[in-house]
Amino acid sequence: MGSWATGVTVVTCLGPHGPHGMTANAFLSVSLEPPLVLVSIGQENDSHAIISASQRFAVSILAASQQHLSVHFAQRFKDSGQALAAVAWSLSPSGLPWIDGAVGHLECAVEGIFTAQDHTLFLGRVLHLDGPTDASPLVYFRSRYTTTG
């Protein structure tokens, strides 16, 4: 699967300890009418528990200049409330975190949950969109970051 080049997103959510986020590249467009997207999230992750409870998530599609944010949001935090503490972010229309400077943003309400062994596929109905900007996207390929130039 490392040979499948992807963009990189930060999936954010709002939990009991505040806003939280994690790096995710298992993200895809599912349908246009209605607009549906899918994210695949490990069941051990804090984000999994938060999205399962809140039934909401947002997606920020990272720009080429945001590799450090991909690394940041791929680490484990002692307290999920720390994840966005040192990161510039804004509120989406319904109050979820959107990472500033991203190529584009979505916010979603969970419309379907599909268990897939140790991951869960969250199908989200897109409630609001923002972007795209002119920035180049961050690309992930064979465990390395690259860009489209």
- Binding interface with ligand FAD (CB under 6 A): 8, 22-26, 40-42, 44-47, 70, 73-77, 80, 140
Closest CA to 111 of 41, 48, 44, 35: 35
Complex with ligand FAD: residue 76 or 134, whichever CB lies closer: 76
Tokens 């992750």 found at: 45
Supply the minimum distance, in Å, between the C-beta of residue 148 and ligand FAD: 16
Q: Identify each DSSP E strand in the chain by its residue range.
A: 6-7, 9-15, 18-24, 27-31, 36-42, 56-61, 89-91, 97-99, 104-116, 119-130, 138-141, 144-147
Supply the minimum distance, in Å, between the C-beta of residue 17 and ligand FAD: 11
Complex with ligand FAD: residue 5 or 93, whichever CB lies closer: 5
Complex with ligand FAD: residue 57 or 98, whichever CB lies closer: 57
Supply the minimum distance, in Å, between the C-beta of residue 41 and ligand FAD: 4
